[in-house]
Amino acid sequence: MPGRRHEALEATGTRALAAERLDRLSGGQRQRCWLAMVLAQQTPVVLLDEPTSALDLGHVIDVLSLVRTVAAAGRTVVIVLHDLASAARHAGTVIAMKDGRVIAQGAPRDIVDGPLVKELYAVHADILTAPGDAAPIVVPRAPGA
């Protein structure tokens, strides 16, 4: 178990926080520590609920990249994200839900479009294509635009 713990702390950048009490950490530090605890368990399925909340942009990218690595190593990863742009950029499959029902599912390039954003969030948006990986980029329109 010590090896798994060390690997999880390194992977999440929380090694320096290992001796700290969770209630004394910032929200972002706490999120990364919770992720380290989950990863150290080495379960075949990882369930994460908003693992990037309270994180700055750099840590969001680090966490989602780490999660992709975990999935590529053979573990099933299910993440709840309200940030459709991050989900579209990092997920292999997106399941969009509203009021407890699935309204769309599939590869982000196949399902993320203006009508989906409108149905999910009641917001008009333009969907652009990211250079490099062609991931959909959600750009909300200003009200009245």
pLDDT for 22-44, tens place per residue?
A: 899 988 888 889 889 998 998 99
**Whole-prediction pTM value?**
0.79
Report which listed range, 85-89, 102-106, 128-132, is most confident: 102-106
Backbone angles phi, psi at 99, to 5 degrees: 55, 40
Q: What is the mean pLDDT of the chain?
A: 90
What's CA 7's distance to the chain center, in Å? 20
Estimate the crossing angle of helix 27-40 against helix 57-72, to 10 degrees: 10
| For the chain, the helix, strand and coil percentages under 3-state DSSP, each to the nearest 5 | 45, 20, 35
